[in-house]
């Protein structure tokens, strides 16, 4: 098994763990899932820069990379949609929280609640 295949399998495992451990009502679990996805993307970027050895390895690695990209995109959409639902629910219940901070992180539950008004 090549280094590329090992890294692909590791990244795919991270994506699976991110989805399995996802719990939008638990900020620690959300951060853990986010970190798993971030590491999977980091691994993906590293894989894209690896030199390609033989033609069979290139085809296999390219196929694995495309599948990994698709899995990351699917997991990201699922987790983001779920987080958006709970952020919207928090607003409806009067506990408005901002979506993400400047670093792309979800806010802590301990951060102050933002006042929210609905005009219309």
Encode pLDDT of 41-93 as tens digits.
Answer: 898 888 877 766 555 567 777 888 888 889 988 888 888 887 777 777 777 77
* Cα–Cα separations (whole angstroms), residue 90 to 54, 62, 73, 77, 86: 53, 42, 25, 20, 6
Percent of the chain at pLDDT > 90 equals 3
Neighbouring CB atoms inside 10 A of 52's CB total: 11
Spell out the domain ranges in the chain.
3-78
All residues at 6 or more sequence positions from 86 whose CB lies less than 8 Å from its CB, including other chains? 24, 25
What local confidence, expressed as pLDDT, does residue 120 receive? 43
Mean pLDDT of the chain: 75
Q: Are 64 and 5 in contact (CB under 8 A)?
A: yes
Short-list 95, 79, 71, CA closest to 11: 71
What local confidence, expressed as pLDDT, does residue 101 receive? 58
């Amino acid at each position: 098994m090549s280094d590329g295949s090992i890294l692909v399998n590791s990244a795919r495992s991270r994506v699976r763990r991110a989805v399995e451990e996802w719990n939008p009502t638990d900020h620690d679990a959300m951060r853990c899932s986010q970190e798993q996805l971030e590491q999977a993307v980091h691994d993906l970027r590293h894989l894209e820069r690896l030199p390609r050895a033989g033609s069979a390895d290139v085809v296999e690695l390219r196929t694995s990379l495309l599948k990994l990209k698709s899995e990351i995109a699917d997991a990201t959409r699922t987790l983001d949609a779920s987080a958006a639902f709970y952020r919207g629910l928090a607003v409806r219940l009067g506990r408005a929280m901002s979506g993400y901070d400047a670093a792309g992180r979800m806010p802590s539950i301990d951060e102050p609640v933002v006042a929210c008004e609905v005009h219309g």
